[in-house]
Amino acid sequence: MSELLNPDHIDFAEICVGGQFRSGAGGTAPSIDPTDGTLVADYGVAGLDDVEEAVAMGRTALADPAWRDLKPHERARVLYRIGEAIEAHAEVISALQTRDTGKTLAETLALALSAAGTFRYVAATLESLDEDLTAPRGPWVTMSVHEPIGVVAAITPWNSPIASDAQKVAPALAGGNAVILKPAEWTPLISLFLARLAYLAGLPRGLLSVLPGPGRVIGDALVRHPQVRKVAFTGGTVTGRRIAQIAGTKLMPVSLELGGKSPTIVFPDADLDEAIAGVLYGVFSSTGQSCIAGTRLFVHESIREAFVSRLVERAKALRMGRGDAPGTQMAPMIAHAHRDKVAAMVDAAVAAGARLLCGGKVPLGEFAAGAWYPPTIIDNVANTDTICREEIFGPVLAVLSWSDEDDLVAKANDNEYGLACGIWTRDYKAAWRVARRIEAGTVWINTYKQFSSSTPFGGVKNSGLGREKGRHWIQSYMNQKAIYWGMSKDPIGWG
Ligand code: NAD
């Protein structure tokens, strides 16, 4: 790619309908920088007519031999090129995403590189996907093959935009489908940019649309559309359940990556320096706006006092600042409205008897204009209190303690969510025992919030359905078909 796309020269008021960049039927809406409340750009909003057109264009593109007959290794080439285009634009994407979300440049760069890696991993998997010749149990050759599902809707949240977009768009395209991406209302810019990169990299027309707009209008219309044959969703549990109900009526496959309320467990023999750094990173990175944030700390009674006092000192020293300032650890939250919701949850917990060990107050002074909230640690709470039950999606840690392992496991599991868990110990047998008993899609032992494209990710209980990543990622966007090929020289012998 000789010349880089420059976001300053892009009209974000244009939505993407099958590769046509044009105004949407829903007009425009502002995307706001949460650092100071200023306008980043007016972005285009899709209308219901755009949904119809995007679906129709997707179906036309699917029927075109240029895509339909492309061999998997040829499709993989398109995906490799998209990955390369993202990587070449990583810094540009990072700067744009930092303006749009307030996140630190370090985080947005990591998200951009993760998206590039996702496209490359999926392309490599596609190159090496085999179909099965199954053991014949009769006079046939029997095989299992996979085919595209059709038009897929990808609905994403605001907290890791380009990475979560890539985690749906790449495997859906790899499966030979057309994709309609519905980004979150607070963060549509990067998804529109991604569409431009995909077409620049040679994606055939019609295969990717990006339709920003209200979830209850555009998202809902996509989920209900009779020609949308799969929905891949990441977002809140309430929305996920609603989508699952509609998918149930349509008998349509759906994958749901939902919320979390993850426990982090510290044993008395843990390396305390590592555990403190891990707990801080696990809950306060991304300013706590992470589905896998380790928000319930279970620290062993015997080390509780010393551990918590060091943890609080370190939390107070975290550097709050603009996302584009070097060294910032705690950038603003996504929006003032979301910050206010988090603050209200903490206030309610304190009113109910929780004790603030640090944070818990909306900062003023240089931070007054932005959506900042400080790292907040509370104790004097029970695992059954609202603050320990509900997802906060902000930088808030509740301290609990334990002494008996069975009771610990029961309490860690006593929550409607089951997304992740952290365990800090030098006792490898205890780590294994507890890891296997915890109800969660991912357990990190002596580390936290680490990811690999090759390791499946997802939740149990109210944290979701299905898995992203791993060797079977692409097949989750395909229909499996059995073929029996008769080889007997005798007729079936009936009729
Ligand atoms: P959200 O559920 O409000 O919105 C997510 C997406 O769904 C947005 O694009 C939104 O416009 C759309 N939407 C809203 N209502 C809809 C409807 N009725 N029909 C179809 N689409 C609709 O979630 P959010 O506030 O954007 O994101 C935060 C949530 O996402 C948190 O709960 C977080 O835990 C979760 N999350 C989960 C994971 C994971 O992998 N498990 C990753 C990131 C975020």
375 φ, ψ (degrees, to nearest 5): -60, 130
Return the CATH number of the domain spanning residue range 7-258+463-481. 3.40.605.10
Give, for ligand 1, the residue of 111, 223, 291, 339 to mutate: max count of ligand atoms closer than 8 Å to Cβ: 291
Mean per-residue pLDDT, 97-113: 97
> For ligand 1, is residue 234 a contact (CB within 6 Å)?
yes
Q: What is the pLDDT of residue 371?
A: 97
Residue 2 pLDDT > 80: no
Q: Decide if 168 is catalytic.
A: yes
Residue identifier of the C-alpha nearest atom 30 of ligand 1: 235
pTM recorded for the entire structure: 0.97
Q: What whole-number distance in Å separates Cα of residue 201 and Cα of residue 79? A: 8
pLDDT band per the 50, 70, 90 thresholds, residue 494 = confident
> For ligand 1, is residue 258 a contact (CB within 6 Å)?
yes
Across the strands, what pairs with 33?
38
Q: What whole-number distance in Å separates Cα of residue 175 and Cα of residue 181? A: 16
- Of all residues in the chain, what percent carry a pLDDT higher than 70? 100
Mean per-residue pLDDT, 355-372: 95
Residue 493 pLDDT > 90: no
87 neighbors 119 (Cβ within 8 angstroms): no
Structure tokens at 492: 């079936």
Please tell me which residue in 53, 257, 261, 421 is annotated as part of the active site: 257
> For ligand 1, is residue 67 a contact (CB within 6 Å)?
no
Residue 235 burial (CB < 10 Å; 0-12/13-18/19+)?
A: buried
Nearest to 289 by CA among 32, 111, 457: 111
Name residue, tokens 């949904």: 51
Mean per-residue pLDDT, 232-258: 98
Give, for ligand 1, the residue of 43, 107, 155, 391 to mutate: max count of ligand atoms closer than 8 Å to Cβ: 155
Task: Give buried/exposed letters for 41-59 (b at 16+ CB in 10 A, else e).
Answer: bebbbbbeebbebbbebbe
Residue 443 pLDDT > 80: yes
Nearest to 376 by CA among 363, 389, 357, 391: 357
Considering the chain, tell me which residue range(s) the CATH 3.40.605.10 domain(s) occupy: 7-258+463-481
Mean per-residue pLDDT, 38-65: 98
> For ligand 1, is residue 285 a contact (CB within 6 Å)?
no
Residue identifier of the C-alpha nearest atom 35 of ligand 1: 235
pLDDT band per the 50, 70, 90 thresholds, residue 3 = confident
Mean per-residue pLDDT, 37-64: 97
Considering the chain, tell me which residue range(s) the CATH 3.40.309.10 domain(s) occupy: 263-445
pLDDT band per the 50, 70, 90 thresholds, residue 489 = very high
Name residue, tokens 């903490």: 346
Q: Decide if 74 is catalytic.
A: no
Residue 434 pLDDT > 80: yes
Residue identifier of the C-alpha nearest atom 22 of ligand 1: 215
**Chain-wide mean pLDDT for the chain?**
97
CATH domain 263-445 topology: Aldehyde Dehydrogenase; Chain A, domain 2 (3.40.309)
Mean per-residue pLDDT, 385-393: 98
